[in-house]
Amino acid sequence: MKKIVFVCLLLLGISCAEKKELMEPLDVFVGTYTDGDSEGIYRYSFDPNTGQLQDRELMASLPNPSFLAISKDKKNLYAVQETADFDSIGGGVTAFALKDGKLELLNSKGSGGAHPCHVSVSNKGQLAASNFSGGNFSVFDLNEDGSLGERQLVSHKPTDTLKNAYVHKAHFNSDGLFVSDLGLSAIKRYTKQPYGWVPATQHTIAMGDGAGSRHFVFNGDRTYMYVINELNATIVVLKRDGEGNYTKIQTENTLAPDWEGVKSCADIHLSPNGKFLYGSNRGENTIVIFSVDKDSGMLSLLGRESVRGDWPRNFTMDPSGEYLLVANQKSDNITIFKRDAEKGTLSFLHEVATPAPVCLVFK
């Protein structure tokens, strides 16, 4: 009887292993800069069984589609046109329908400012584009088919200081709209009214002069927010109080103590289980790794991993969290790492040549 049970368990294990082997490939879309060899938006096939990225295909010819976003229902893809000459005001945003792995152009509209560098989609039919050089951001209503509709434009340009606004990211969640401004070194908050987005009660979360707020991420219940600052190479931890306001509780450096080169942080992400935080260091060309205390939200440095490339811009994790992919803009390659779910560490697997990759999104 014991032998029969053992054989059944063995067969079950083999069956499970076989099922894992049969995981379907995933589409990965790549946004790029097109002032060199790139022609626009590319798609790769990602094998979740091996971490292999292969079969590159040009999906859309578009000028500087540097940042991409996919709608929650996976029916639409959006891309910025990070230029200053889409129209007389600045850059543009383009909406596509995703059909059978292909991109079908819906429409394009001006973003309302120069060099839009980030785009995000809400769960309630809106899209936000961050205009870096324009110092403003736009919010578009989305039509039923996902195309771009009416636009609201919100300026960050200060009237009483010598600072310049450089909007870098906008993010929708249940608490409103959060917008990072590198020039103002702050996160700005907005709340939705019937007539549009207006400043929230806690309108400004200052990071300090010279910090250069770039990207940010929240933990699962939004108790904690983590902001990566480009100019002073720090990550700031903020905690939400009972009234919904955020206060700084910790600041950590992202670079090695002996680093004397360029400081230029870029992207930041939490692991799917929230136990680890990752940030990209351009110049040092590393991914910094922190563990996250589940009770306090505080960070502890684990180390840094070379990206095996130059100028790591955006990076992402596959849906399972087993792999981390890095877009190295200046070295024209994407590097793929295996992620240890228990330790948070990264192990280099391989790389693929891609012209000027900037943004990576899984469908």
pLDDT for 160-212, tens place per residue? 777 899 999 999 999 999 999 999 999 999 999 999 999 999 999 999 999 99
241-272 pLDDT, tens per residue? 999 999 999 999 999 999 999 999 999 999 99
| Residue 21 pLDDT grade (very low, low, confident, very high; cuts 50, 70, 90) | low
User: What does the pLDDT average to over 275-285?
Assistant: 98
| pLDDT attached to residue 100 | 86
Beta bridge partners of residue 40, listed in sequence order: 61
332-356 pLDDT, tens per residue? 999 999 999 999 999 999 999 999 9
The rounded distance, in Å, linking the Cα atoms of 29 and 9 is 40
| pLDDT attached to residue 13 | 52
The rounded distance, in Å, linking the Cα atoms of 283 and 56 is 27
| Residue closest to 107 by CA, chosen among 127, 137, 83, 124 | 127
Domain extents in the chain: 62-206
| Residue closest to 349 by CA, chosen among 317, 323, 330 | 323
Residue 322 in this model has a pLDDT that exceeds 50 = yes
pTM: 0.93
Where would I find the H helices in 2-119?
2-21
DSSP single-letter state for residue 146: S
Rg of the chain over CA atoms, in angstroms? 21
Question: Token pair for residue 215?
Answer: 């990207």
CATH for the 62-206 domain, from 2.130.10.10, 1.20.140.10, 2.120.10.30, 3.40.50.2000: 2.130.10.10
CB under 8 Å, gap of 24 or more: what pairs does 63-66 form?
63/34, 64/32, 64/33, 64/34, 64/35, 64/91, 65/31, 65/32, 65/34, 65/40, 65/41, 65/94, 66/31, 66/32, 66/33, 66/117, 66/358, 66/359
Average pLDDT in the chain: 94
The rounded distance, in Å, linking the Cα atoms of 208 and 233 is 12
How would you label 227-255 residue by residue, b for 16+ Cβ within 10 Å and e otherwise? bbbbbbbbbbbbbbeeeeebeeebbbebb
